[in-house]
Structure 1
Amino acid sequence: MTTEAPAQHQVVSLSEWIAAGKDLLQKEKEFTRARDALSAARRDLPWVKVESDYVFEGPDGPVSLSELFDGRSQLIVYHYMYAPGWDEGCIGCSFVCDHVDSARQHFEHHDVAYVAVSRAPLAEFQEFKKRMGWSFRWVSSAKNSFNYDYGVSYRKEELEKGPVLHNFTMQKLSGEEQPGLSVFTKDADGNIYRTYSSYERGLDLLIGAYNYLDLTPKGRNETGPMSWLNFHDRYED
């Protein structure tokens, strides 16, 4: 942890500070309205029907995508980066998932189910989940094509050929695993639809700690994306 004082900054009278704050408040209100409009546009996106009958490996045995809704009509899937053979999960994904259990106490009572999905076999990340102290549902897609179909896992030979489709664009990737989030809904007849997916910086929305840091004089105080970050059980203090 770095504890250096913030760099010297402009200091003004209280009346000048209130005037500056009033100007900023107008920008914040504009941002809030723009965010509300973006959320509405997200809800208005067309849906695509899920045709594959995905079955995952869960702690209690095989579980289908439909069963992951757990009686609700909406499902959030976090694509957690944990490939076969890894000793521990992605540190950035862990940062995201540290925010889940408290939030889901509320959204699970508002018709939204949640699950994390990783490509590693279930047994490979059970101890890591226990170490992190998480209680949300986490299943394995090791025996299906889910990760590949949703643009978060890529075969080495695919990447070697050149650009692949990721985050709605063709781009060259350096890693076989990528983080992401997908949202689904299920109708009264049991049909499942993909309604939304997000990748890369789009996942910032899920990180409450960043929202707090963005309010402070130093902000995120990073030399690169998440450069200061550690697993929550490895901070020295």
Structure 2
Amino acid sequence: MAESASPSLPNVVERATFQGELDTLREREKAHTREGSAIAAARRRLPMVEVDATLRLTGPDGSVTLLDAFEGRRQLIAYYFMWHHDHGAAEQCEGCTFYTNQVTELAYLQSRDITYAVLCQGPYEQSRRYRDFMGWTMPWYSAQDSAKDLLAGRQVGMFHVVCYVRDGDRVFETYWTTGRGVEAMDNNYALMDLTVYGRQETWEDSPNGWPQQWPVDSANLRVDGRPTSQWSRLTAGRSDDLDAKP
């Protein structure tokens, strides 16, 4: 028999009852995984559209092309980082900071002939200093001058993940996503979703009494007025002055 727990906790049951409920849920999880695999298979069968391989980016060596950003590999995953012009580090995009902060190991992608790079929608020098302040090491470019062409038909100034493939010197776009689609980069929310309280955000379907203190706005990714992960960088003594001389 279930034992009533605190209003903010599930009922307490015997191990066998718990396992039975979990087994039922596991069937739904397996169906979800299989559907995800089927969607990925459909994604691999999408047509593609050619993109001008000579569109200019700015990187550590100055002006380069979109083709150069492949670094010789066959595929490119580009994250289009939003940029709040004329704002300091504390006012930069908390969502882009959250997602970019989780892409740390590129060796596995590179072993499959895939380059991952950030194409920032702001100026190179300021945004590169932001990258350095955060301690990121992935390839970083400014796409400021080519964003309208690279994101043709989409909202410039919004974060996007765009996938490309090259055939020799020709570049093709094969997929793009934004909004919750970029959660593919995330592990924090994925781990939160495994816990009893989930993300603790107000939109979630949770039992009455469950903590849901986080509204779905910039506050859920900020602490004391800054993107949450910036605080550890400041504690480590890094400068967040985006106007400092290189």
TM-score by length of 1: 0.81
| Conserved? CA contact 2:55–2:66, under 8 Å | yes
Write the mapping of 1:1-237 to structure 2, written as runs, cut at 5 A: 7-51=8-52, 53-88=54-89, 89-102=92-105, 104-144=106-146, 145-146=148-149, 148-149=151-152, 151-153=154-156, 177-187=157-167, 189-222=168-201, 223-225=214-216, 227-230=219-222, 231=227, 232-234=229-231
- 38 and 44 in structure 1: CA distance in 2 versus 1, 3 angstrom threshold: same
Secondary structure at 2:119 match in 1: strand
Deviation of residue 83 (structure 1)?
3.9
Deviation of residue 85 (structure 1)?
2.0
Secondary structure at 2:82 match in 1: coil
Quote the sequence identity (%): 27
Q: Within 1, Cα distance between the matches of 2:122 and 2:27?
A: 47
Secondary structure at 2:231 match in 1: coil
Deviation of residue 86 (structure 1)?
2.9
Secondary structure at 1:19 match in 2: helix
Secondary structure at 1:16 match in 2: helix
| Conserved? CA contact 2:164–2:172, under 8 Å | yes
For residues 95-152 of structure 1, give each alpha carbon's deviation from its aligned partner in whole angstroms, at most 9, with x where no partner exists: 11111122x1211121100111122111111221111000011111222234552624
Secondary structure at 1:129 match in 2: helix
Q: Within 1, Cα distance between the matches of 2:7 and 2:37?
A: 33
Deviation of residue 79 (structure 1)?
0.7
Q: Within 1, Cα distance between the matches of 2:153 and 2:57?
A: 15
For residues 161-198 of structure 1, give each alpha carbon's deviation from its aligned partner in whole angstroms, at most 9, with x where no partner exists: xxxxxxxxxxxxxxxx21111000001x3211100000
For residues 195-229 of structure 1, give each alpha carbon's deviation from its aligned partner in whole angstroms, at most 9, with x where no partner exists: 00001111112111111111111111123336432
Q: Within 1, Cα distance between the matches of 2:187 and 2:153?
A: 25
- 148 and 18 in structure 1: CA distance in 2 versus 1, 3 angstrom threshold: closer
| Corresponding letter in the other structure for 2:174 | T
Secondary structure at 1:108 match in 2: helix
- 61 and 6 in structure 1: CA distance in 2 versus 1, 3 angstrom threshold: farther
| Corresponding letter in the other structure for 1:183 | C
Aligned length: 208
Aligned-residue Cα RMSD (Å) equals 2.1
Unpaired stretches in structure 2, ≥5 consecutive residues: 1-5, 202-213, 236-246
The list of structure 1 runs, each at least 4 consecutive aligned residues, that deviate by more than 6 angstroms after superposition, is: none
| Conserved? CA contact 1:56–1:62, under 8 Å | yes
Q: Within 2, Cα distance between the matches of 1:108 and 1:27?
A: 33
| Corresponding letter in the other structure for 2:97 | S
| Conserved? CA contact 2:99–2:186, under 8 Å | yes
